[in-house]
Amino acid sequence: MAVTDLTACEIRKAIAERRLSAVEATEGCLRAIGRLDPKIKAFLSTDPDGGRRRAAEIDRRLAAGENVGLLAGIPVAVKDNMCTADGQPTTCASRILGGWRAPYDAHVVERLKAEGAVIVGKTNLDEFAMGSSTENSAYGATRNPWDLGRVPGGSSGGSAAAVAARLVPIALGSDTGGSIRQPAALCGVVGMKPTYGRVSRYGLVAFASSLDQIGPFGRTVADAALLLRATAGHDPRDSTSVREPVPDYLEGLEEPVRPLRIGVPREFFSAGIDPEVESVVREALAVYERLGAALVPITLPHSTDYSIATYYIVATSEASSNLARYDGVHYGYRSSDHTDMIDMYMRSRAQGFGDEVKRRIMLGTYALSSGYYDAYYKKALAVRRLIRRDFEQAFAKVDCIMGPTSPTPAFHVGERTADPLAMYLSDVYTVSANLAAIAGISIPCGFTAGGLPIGLQIITDVFTEGRLLRIARMYERETGWTKRAPPIVEDAA
């Protein structure tokens, strides 16, 4: 069996038992990247030499009997909006940060290194994490490993595609409105958004600071649990990081949650959902029923009807503020063709930012402007509280909420780029969890007749990631969806 056929937990066990070395695991992933990534374009940069050095050091330490960490020798990819001080660029897939190298590591990168992971590269994304297809990257679109003519989702499409194509067993992404869960669904992998504050955002290049959260991708629920355990925890450098104990998410993972009450929002199965997606998700719910769970009809009136509008006011307003720092003065791209300082600001931003980023900056600036603040931003914050209340009322009755992750399977490259609203609606089922700051996961639950993955979204209340992972594992144990590989992987074998 090839190294790339192993899950992260299997690689961890094989290395611990000395049946596999960290160098062998790293070389296997680097070969897969070299063979398949020219077609998929999941990576913006790789660090083969640094990865090999790191792997060799881990093998040396293991041979000496040292405790190297939870992720000893496991190859990992990191979304390219997280700072790395190892010489790899941190570009956020934007021209305005082209070639920029961070002077420090993000907290999660520190944690990966402390736990013995081997970071092999930085993955592609929608520019500054603004998008749902990874087509907004200034360095080219990532392709879906299941169908190279389709998108992998976004904005963490590079990380999702890398895990799906078995280029790496696990990867980190960031989720502002579904940017982990939606690409996980479209690529047929596990992707989790932890509770806001569970994982430090220190070193994550900000898009919308009250919504952004870093989380894991893996081929299995156990892989996601392992990576979350390694990266979660309080960090005093992030004022929104919460002092909440971090459980061992792998311990008790095989214990089903019983009794289990599953809330099924009627709004998740309304107009706009693809018939195949609805059918497959309802079949997944039936699996839980056979396991003894009770399906409880619920309603989330504000969450579905108003979440997209609320999100695109709150997120764009915060983006407008966060991206004001890219002015061509301190770092990043500076236009060489300008007449004075104001002209330099304007030209640097106009030339450095892509169309989608400009659109969101303008929307946010408008919502925050004098005369419109009360009508838009202030009202959006009030609706955000109502959305949170929807979930509080639901969780008083049920243990979790389930439904589709995305209303459609992966769509064709270029299909929605000319229609921003259609693109925004790709996240109609995911943005509410960010607005409410709660935890969510997408797990594979089947395929369309054409062989495209479909994801089941499971949502639980704040700081209940352990229970969320156990609920997800209940379904995964009964099915074999996580074992299927994209045709591009099988053809290359």
The model's pLDDT over 280-304, given as tens digits with 9 standing for 90+, comes to 999 999 999 999 999 999 999 998 8
Segment 267-270 long-range contacts (CB within 8 Å, at least 24 positions apart): 267/299, 267/300, 267/301, 267/303, 267/304, 267/305, 268/304, 268/403, 268/404, 268/429, 269/403, 269/404, 270/304
Q: Which tokens hold the place of 282?
A: 């309802």
Separation of alpha carbons 139 and 121, rounded Å: 15
Known active-site residue 432: no
Burial zone of 27 (CB within 10 Å; 0-12 exposed, 13-18 middle, 19+ buried): middle
Residue 79 a catalytic site member: yes
**Structure tokens, 389:** 């209340």
Query: Which residue, 225, 155, 144, is CA-closest to 476?
Result: 225
**Contacts with 67 (C-beta within 8 Å, 6 or more apart), sequence order:** none
Q: Is the peptide bond before 444 cis (omega within 30 degrees of 0)?
A: no
Both tokens assigned to 237: 């450098």
What is the structure's pLDDT at 71? Answer: 98
| Mean pLDDT score across all residues of the chain | 96
CB 423 within 8 Å of CB 131? yes
How confident is the model at residue 86, as a pLDDT?
A: 85
Of these residues, 94, 155, 320, 442, which one is catalytic?
155
Topology (CATH level 3) of domain 3-255+479-492: Amidase signature (AS) enzymes (3.90.1300)
Q: What is the pLDDT of residue 492?
A: 66
- Classified as helix, coil or strand, 34 is helix
Alpha helices in 273-375 (DSSP H): 275-290, 301-305, 307-322, 341-352, 355-368
Print pLDDT tens along the chain (493 aa): 789 999 999 999 999 999 999 999 999 999 999 999 999 999 999 999 999 999 999 999 999 999 999 999 999 999 999 999 988 999 999 999 999 999 999 999 999 999 999 999 999 999 999 999 999 999 999 999 999 999 999 999 999 999 999 999 999 999 999 999 999 999 999 999 999 999 999 999 999 999 999 999 999 999 999 999 999 999 999 999 999 999 999 999 999 999 999 999 999 998 789 999 999 999 999 999 999 999 999 999 998 889 999 999 999 999 999 999 999 898 889 998 888 889 999 999 999 999 999 999 999 999 999 888 999 999 999 999 999 999 999 999 999 999 999 999 999 999 999 998 899 989 999 999 999 999 999 999 999 999 999 999 999 999 999 999 999 999 999 999 999 999 998 776 6
pLDDT at 1: 73
Catalytic residue among 94, 159, 174, 179: 179
Burial profile 466-492: b = 16 or more Cβ within 10 angstroms, e = fewer: bbbbbbbbbbbeeeebbeebbebbeeb
Nearest alpha-carbon partner for 457 in 482, 416, 436, 427: 427
CA distance 201 to 106: 8
φ/ψ of 316, rounded to 5, equals -70, -35
Nearest to 19 by CA among 27, 10, 30: 10
Q: Which amino acid is at 354?
A: G
Instruction: Given the residues 21, 41, 79, 159, select the one marked as catalytic.
Output: 79
Distance between CA atoms of 144 and 285, rounded to whole angstroms? 26
Which residue is listed with tokens 């690689």?
11
